[in-house]
């Protein structure tokens, strides 16, 4: 008895004194273990399709390289469209290559839309976009299985070319749907010289009808997207569901430093026009100016193309991109203005030219409070804790916000890793997100009219 007291009392005391975060984590663990009980969606059925999808464009590291508008993407789309038809959805592809699958509603109401993308970055993983796309399909299957009728027609969507690697324009399909892309974009070419217009033809579309992909505001009651967090907040706090508050804007420029390629042995140090030395200083200037203000804005130079690119030639030309992201468009403009000043100084001092052209500007977007609340209530009903957080990654949802209220659900990313073959979310955590998507769709469909902090209705 005395022995028992010797370890039991300190144990009880330790439990009572546990800091709140640890208690939350224990609770989170219990929730995610017990989560599969009472779920409407089928985790196993979903995982089978996710596994199969990851075969399209598989890279040697175990992830995928499935660039938007590529052979691998085209094959993956066929696979997903087949699954959609099997689920009884009426499938159509719009002139921008977006895939829609419709399930009728019982009333004459605008569509409730949900989905994501299946294209990837080079050397990408198996979760970014795939989870939200096949999660949307699983929601449709579960509704069928449980014979649930909805008031609104439901549509799942697989947006085309979300990552935009080889055309310098991400959020492509949703951008067309939001009406923010002119047909001029179709002249852009990939590394093989194939234009976007040609790719649309290969996808069975008529590029002349590109602008018809636009979705009129009012024709969609709302948009929901489930996605992996791609950061470590949920994992570190052990919270299974993230309620996204807003999505960052993403601005891309392509810059070229032009110097003079000359002999590396005979050109004195003070007579050089070294484009790479200038570009190297430009990279550091980007970092310094982004860090010069407090808060979460980020700036990246993701590559350099150096010409001619030999050990014994002073580099004459360097191409490098600048990417800036923040939730506030005005802050990005301010930082970019300072970066331009720094580039001008560097160019003068290094005796080179630095020119930058804007390539893409995706606006930041806030999620709709009604949708946030629906997601919180859906998670609570599924026994899952939530946490509000911003998205540092871009998503098609930010374009959808131009034609409908929107919300986003996040599930944890192992180690916060994404845009990498090592991207991972365990099946049960994926299922948590899909269950919350399922329940959010139904809550928004019912359009519960509650005033104080509740759902006010989706349309
Ligand atoms: O780059 C992004 O944030 C997104 O994954 N396309
Ligand atoms: Mn991505
Ligand atoms: Mn994504």
Which pLDDT value is given to residue 455? 52
- How far apart are the C-alpha atoms of 135 and 227, rounded to whole Å? 9
> Which value, in Å, is the radius of gyration of the alpha carbons in the chain?
25
Dihedral sign, CA of 411, 414, 418, 423? negative
Which residue's CA is minimally distant from atom 6 of ligand 1? 163
What percent of the chain is helix, strand and coil (3-state, nearest 5)?
40, 20, 40
Q: Which atom of ligand 1 is nearest to the CA of 164?
A: 6
CATH code that applies to domain 249-362: 3.30.70.360
- pLDDT-based confidence at 447, cuts 50/70/90? confident
- Token pair of 180 as six digits: 């923010």
Index of the ligand 1 atom closest to the CA of residue 250: 3
Q: Whose CA is nearest to atom 4 of ligand 1?
A: 394
**If pLDDT is split at 50, 70 and 90, which confidence band does 3 have?**
very low
- Residue 8 pLDDT > 70: no
List helix spans (H) across 130-274: 130-145, 172-178, 196-202, 233-237
| pLDDT digits 0-9 by tens, 79-107 | 999 999 999 999 999 999 999 999 999 99
The alpha carbon of 217 is separated from its chain's Cα centroid by a whole number of angstroms, namely 22
**Per residue in 26-60, pLDDT tens?**
444 444 444 456 899 999 999 999 999 999 999 99
Q: What integer pLDDT is reported at residue 5 of this predicted model? A: 39
* 3 state DSSP class of 56: coil
- Range 339-351 average pLDDT: 98
pLDDT over threshold 90, residue 193: yes
User: How far away, in angstroms, is 338 Cα from ligand 1 center?
Assistant: 24
Alpha-helical (H) ranges within 96-243 are 130-145, 172-178, 196-202, 233-237
Separation CA 226–CA 436 (nearest Å): 9
* The pLDDT of residue 48: 98
State the alpha helices, DSSP H only, in 18-96.
Answer: 20-34, 43-53, 71-86
Residue 390 or 20, more confident:
390
pLDDT at site 12: 35
pLDDT at residue 456, as a whole number = 53
* 271, pLDDT greater than 50: yes
Q: Classify residue 204 as exposed, middle or buried by CB count within 10 Å of its CB (0-12, 13-18, 19+).
A: exposed
125-138 per-position pLDDT tens digit: 999 999 999 999 99
Is residue 18's pLDDT more than 70? no
- Kindly give the number of the ligand 1 atom that is closest to the alpha carbon of 392: 3
How is the chain split into domains, by residue range? 2-248+364-457, 249-362
Ligand 1 pocket at CB < 6 A: 162-163, 170, 393-394
> Quick check: 431 pLDDT over 80?
yes
In the structure, what pLDDT confidence band is assigned to residue 274 with cuts at 50, 70 and 90?
A: very high
The ligand that comes nearest to the alpha carbon of residue 117 is 3
The pick from 394, 413, 423 for probing ligand 1's pocket by mutation, whose C-beta has the most ligand atoms within 8 angstroms, reads 394
The b-or-e profile of 7-43 (16+ CB within 10 A means b, else e) is eeeeeeeeeeeeeeeeebbeebeebbeebbeebbbbb
Q: What are phi and psi of 80, to 5 degrees?
A: -65, -40
- Coil, helix or strand at residue 172: helix
Which ligand has the minimum distance to the alpha carbon of residue 125? 2
Mutate-to-test residue for ligand 1 from 160, 164, 170, 410, highest number of ligand atoms within 8 A of CB: 170
Nearest CA to 386 out of 397, 378, 394 is that of 378
**What burial class does residue 378 get, using C-beta atoms within 10 Å of its C-beta: 0-12 exposed, 13-18 middle, 19+ buried?**
buried
What tokens were used for 262?
């000359």
CATH 3.40.630.10 is right for the domain spanning 2-248+364-457 = yes
pLDDT band at 9 (very low <50, low <70, confident <90, very high): very low
CA–CA separation, 230 and 257 (whole Å): 32
Ligand 1 atom nearest to CA at 394:
3
CB 87 within 8 A of CB 101: yes
| pLDDT above 80 for 448 | no
- Of 428, 426, 386, the closest CA to residue 127 belongs to 426
């Amino acid at each position: 008895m005395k022995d028992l007291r010797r370890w039991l009392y300190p144990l009880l005391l330790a439990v009572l004194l546990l800091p709140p975060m640890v208690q939350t984590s224990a609770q989170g663990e219990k929730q995610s273990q017990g989560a599969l009980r009472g779920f409407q969606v089928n985790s196993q059925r979903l995982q089978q399709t996710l596994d199969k999808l990851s075969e399209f464009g598989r890279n040697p590291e175990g992830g995928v390289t499935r660039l938007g508008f590529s052979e691998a993407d085209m094959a993956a789309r066929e696979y997903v469209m087949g699954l959609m038809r099997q689920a009884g959805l009426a499938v159509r592809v719009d002139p921008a290559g977006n895939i829609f699958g419709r399930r009728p509603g019982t009333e004459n109401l605008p569509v409730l839309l949900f989905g994501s993308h299946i294209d990837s970055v080079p050397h990408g993983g198996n979760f970014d976009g795939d989870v939200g796309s096949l999660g949307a399909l699983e929601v449709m299957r579960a509704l069928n299985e449980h014979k649930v009728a909805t008031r609104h027609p439901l549509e799942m969507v697989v947006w085309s070319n979300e990552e935009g690697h080889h055309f310098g324009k991400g959020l492509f399909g949703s951008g067309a749907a939001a009406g923010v892309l002119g047909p001029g974009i179709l002249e852009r070419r990939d590394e093989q010289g194939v234009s976007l217009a040609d790719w649309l033809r290969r996808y069975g579309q008529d590029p002349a009808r590109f602008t018809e992909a636009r979705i009129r505001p009012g024709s969609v009651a709302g948009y929901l997207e489930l996605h992996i967090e791609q950061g470590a907040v949920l994992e570190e706090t052990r919270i299974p569901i993230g309620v996204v508050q807003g999505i960052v804007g993403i601005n891309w420029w392509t810059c070229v430093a032009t110097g003079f390629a000359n002999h590396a042995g005979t050109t004195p140090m003070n007579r050089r026009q070294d484009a790479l030395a200038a570009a190297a200083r430009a990279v550091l200037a980007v970092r310094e100016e982004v860090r010069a203000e407090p808060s979460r804005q980020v700036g990246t130079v993701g590559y350099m193309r150096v010409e001619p690119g030999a050990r014994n030639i002073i580099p004459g030309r360097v191409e490098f991109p600048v990417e800036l992201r923040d939730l506030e468009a005005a802050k990005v403009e301010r930082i970019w203005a300072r970066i331009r000043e720094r580039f001008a100084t560097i160019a003068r001092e290094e005796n080179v030219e630095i020119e930058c052209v804007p390539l893409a500007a995706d606006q930041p977007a806030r999620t709709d409070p009604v949708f946030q609340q629906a997601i919180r209530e859906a998670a609570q009903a599924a026994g899952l804790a939530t946490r509000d957080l911003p998205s540092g990654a871009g998503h098609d949802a930010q374009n959808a916000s131009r034609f409908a209220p929107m919300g986003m659900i996040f599930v944890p990313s192992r180690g916060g890793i994404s845009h990498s073959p090592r991207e991972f979310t365990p099946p049960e955590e994926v299922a948590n997100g899909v269950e919350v998507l399922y329940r959010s769709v139904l809550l928004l469909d019912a359009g519960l009219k509650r005033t104080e902090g509740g759902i006010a209705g989706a349309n």
